Structure 1
Amino acid sequence: MRKSIEGWARWAAVALAGCAMGACGTESPGSEESGVDPTTSTSGTTAPNPTSGTTAPNPTTDVMMDSGSTTTGGSSEEEETIGPPGIDFGYIPDAPPIDTTCTKVDFLFVIDNSGSMSTHQANLIANFPNFIDGIQNTLGDVDSYQVGVITTDEYNNNIPMCHTLSSLVVQSNGGACGPYAEGNNYMTEADNLATTFSCAGNVGTSGSGFERPMQAMVEAVQKIDGDPGECNEGFLRDDSLLVIVIITDEYDGPGDPEGSASLGDPTSWYDDVVAARADLPDNVVVLSLINYMGGPCPPTFGTDDGVNIAMFTQMFTNGFLGGICEANYGPIFSQAIAVIDDACENFMPPQG
């Protein structure tokens, strides 16, 4: 028995010496014969270099797998990609810019037809041709206009179907003005605007002394009389720049000494107009020719103070004031053209 053990020991020593000299077999690590667990392989494992006889690190040794184990050897030289593959969305172009230049402009003239307005109406009519020519020459992208005139009462000189506050003037002191060129109760670019406005704007001075310019304006913008078959049908488009021109020497609104005034106040007037224009206040221009403190035409009586109208006007980014007593409205309208042009350039098309 001792000899057998000694013989086995000598055999083992020889075998180990042979392995040291490279005579051992080349079983793959992790095979049953080697007894090596591949998950416990160390990074010091080497493989023979067939060209030099020296040893070099195996480039595939200890590559981490997504399971957290390592591999030694293997036939593939590619490392496994860690994590999900990337997604190539390709080129995503920018959204096209929104064209914000207006192509339609609607004018609403609110003209006081009470007994003190004769000179002011004549001034307005005399300066309208240059005003509208300047608009058409300046707003090069605009190809469609609507122009409507309303008064500060129910206007009995009008045709029978248009006797409502905020109804468009189709017949005035100048006689029958419409229907206009396109068969509507408002003017368009198809009309000779200088001629037709001189008729519609001549509303006279026999109207009620209890003027309600702001209520008339709000109701016109809200299209109160604009259903099919009504006086204002088709007037004021939702996708147009709206220009409101108010000319009155009336106080109007809260605190009116005469006690009869438009419903609401400057804030409610503003809110009503903006709501009717898709909540886009910058799509509205307001020019008010009135008496107001700090302006060229300060009020002389309590009944002619345009304080409420001034407050309403100045709530708008594109709102400005002019003195109703000015002898020539030409310079005021020249300033208005610049404001309207700027508003048109920055027009925001309503959504929906």
Structure 2
Amino acid sequence: MDLRACCAALCAGMVGLVGCGGDSGTNGDSGSPGGPGAGGAGAGQGQGGDTFGSGGDPFGNGANGSNGANGGTGGGTNKSGCEHVDVVFAVDNSSSMEEEKQSMREVVFPAFAQALLDISGIKDFRAAVLDACPSPANFHTRGVAGECSFQSGKPWMESTSADLTGEFQCAADIYSGDVQCSGDSDDEQPASSVAAALEPPFATGENAGFLRDDALLVVVAITDEDEQPVPRQQMQAIHDRLVATKGEAKNVVFLGIAGRTDCEGAYGSADEAEDMQQLVETFTSDNRGFFWDLCEGHLEDGLTNALTAIEEACTEFVPVVN
């Protein structure tokens, strides 16, 4: 499916998401965030009955081009919000994840990339890819087939690239020949890997320059098992590590994709991911956390729900002051 058709399909499904997700807000009520027990997998918080808030199109933009995150009353731009987004995808690279990785490469990312740029006020984004092993926690610049040769010349992709989809497809076909994890459950810690990637020594070494003070951080962590940090950490500690990289909890959006229960789902088997669900819960108090049930498939819908939080977060973005 080409990007135009994929985006059209994504937009057509905005109002009525497939999968078992909760509603996107009806009759002016805000739907529950997609944490455990909060309205089902990937539940959204749209206002006024559409996915991204009241407005004239699926992204919550009013008829006059105003930003609809606050009911369509904005002035057309995020004057006090973010214009840039930094996205990190961390993917469990176990053999059981082949279907999920293929969906991410071929369907989900192209549509997500376009949808990000369609949010009013956002000018650009950059994206980095990790596997779920934090040893080492450097961003991936090669895939199984070889070097990805990002046009940015950096270990991440820029939305201005003329071959952004191809670059992501290369990096998301994850090469793990340089990892030091044993594969005995220590390579299934995607959120922990992102935290490590954004902290010294990696944040000041291989990944230096990725985080921008004026950019919203979006973390997408996906596994068909559970978050299993080594050494063991409480989920609140991982939340705090991610927030510390941006200085403010409202500046981080976290999407956890895993099994709500043990299941045989659209992408094969998945274990109940209790810790991942708890981690998402630590972000939901600020409406920055979403959980998507891997058992239901439709990863594109999980990222669609995350866009709700991204738009709201951009309107409330607090720039870092050095």
Give the TM bin, normalised by the shorter chain.
0.5 to 0.7
Contact 1:152 1:165 in 2 (8 A): no
Q: Does 1:289 align with 2:257?
A: yes
Is the CA contact (8 Å cut-off) linking 1:125 and 1:197 kept in structure 2? yes
Check whether the contact 1:118–1:205 (CA below 8 A) recurs between aligned residues: no
The CA deviation string for residues 260-306 of structure 1, in whole angstroms up to 9 with x for no partner, is: 7454110111111122211x101110111101249996xx99x9331
Deviation at 1:183, TM superposition (A): 1.0
Is 1:186 aligned to residue 156 of structure 2? yes
Q: Which whole-Å CA distance do the structure 2 matches of 1:136 and 1:296 have between them?
A: 35
Distance, in Å, in 1 between the alignment partners of 2:242 and 2:97 is: 26
Whole-angstrom distance in 1 between the partners of 2:304 and 2:271: 25
- The corresponding residue for 1:232 is 207
Q: How far has the Cα of 1:195 moved from its partner?
A: 1.4
Q: RCO (CA 8 Å, sep 6+): is it higher in 1 or 2?
A: 2
Give the deviation of 1:122 after TM superposition. 0.8
1:124 correspondence with 2:78: no
Sort the Cα spacing of 1:182 and 1:205 in 2 relative to 1 into closer, same or farther, 3 A: closer
1:250 Cα shift? Answer: 2.5
Q: Which residue of 1 aligns with 2:243?
A: 274
- Give the alignment of 1:100-139 within 5 angstroms: 100-126=80-106, 127-138=108-119
Of 119, 126, 129, 1:149 maps to 129
How far the C-alpha of 1:315 sits from its partner, in A, is: 1.1
Amino acid of the structure 2 residue aligned with 1:121: K
Is the partner of 1:315 in helix, strand or coil? Answer: helix
Contact 1:151 1:165 in 2 (8 A): no
User: Cα distance 1:209–1:304, how it changes in 2: closer, same or farther (>3 A)?
Assistant: farther
Which of 233, 244, 247 is the matching residue for 2:219? 244
Structure 2 CA distance for aligned equivalents of residues 334 and 305 of structure 1: 22
Which one-letter code corresponds to 2:238 in the other structure? Answer: W
The separation in 1 between residues aligned to 2:167 and 2:210, in whole angstroms, is: 16
Counterpart mapping for 1:22-33 below 5 A: none
Cα distance, 1:145 vs. partner?
1.5
Report the 3-state secondary structure (helix = DSSP H, G, I; strand = E; otherwise coil) of the residue aligned with 1:250.
Answer: coil
2:146 — aligned with what? 175
Normalising by structure 2, report the TM-score. Answer: 0.65
* Secondary structure in 2 matching 1:340: helix
Instruction: Specify whether residues 196 and 133 from structure 1 end up closer, same or farther in structure 2 by C-alpha distance, changes over 3 A only.
Output: same
With over 3 angstroms needed to count, the CA separation of the structure-2 counterparts of 1:348 and 1:99, relative to structure 1, is farther
CA contact (8 A) 1:110 1:213 kept: yes
String of CA shifts for 1:321-345, please: whole Å, max 9, x gaps.
Answer: 0022333222222222222111111
Q: Any conservation in 1 of the 2:88–2:129 contact (CA below 8 Å)?
A: yes
Determine the C-alpha separation between the residues in 1 that align with 2:121 and 2:310.
Answer: 13
CA contact under 8 A between 1:115 and 1:205: conserved in structure 2? Answer: no
Task: Give how far 1:142 is off.
Answer: 2.1
Kept after mapping to 1: 8 A contact 2:235/2:278: yes
Report the AA paired with residue 114 of structure 1: S
State the alpha-carbon separation in 1 of the partners of residues 231 and 193 from structure 2: 8
* Residue matched to 2:277: 310
Preserved contact between residue 255 and residue 292 of structure 2 (Cα < 8 Å): yes
Question: How many residues are matched?
Answer: 233
Structure 1 vs Structure 2 CA RMSD: 2.8
Deviation at 1:252, TM superposition (A): 3.1
- Matches of 1:133 and 1:123, distance apart in 2: 16
Unaligned runs of 5+ in 2: 1-77
Counterpart Cα distance in 2 of 1:286 and 1:240: 15
For the residues of structure 2 that align with 1:314 and 1:124, how far apart are their CA atoms?
A: 24
CA distance in 2: counterparts of 1:120 and 1:351, whole angstroms: 38
5+ residue gaps, structure 1: 1-97, 155-163, 254-259
| Residues 100 and 345 in structure 1, CA contact (< 8 A), matched pair in contact too | yes
TM-score normalized by the length of structure 1: 0.60
**Inter-CA distance 173–325: structure 2 relative to 1 (3 Å threshold):** farther
**Deviations 1:42-93 (CA, angstroms, capped at 9, x unpaired):** xxxxxxxxxxxxxxxxxxxxxxxxxxxxxxxxxxxxxxxxxxxxxxxxxxxx
Is residue 195 from structure 1 mapped to residue 195 from structure 2 by the alignment? no
Aligned counterparts of 1:119 and 1:174: Cα–Cα separation in 2 = 18
Measure how far apart 1:135 and its partner are: 0.9
State the structure with more CA Rg: 1
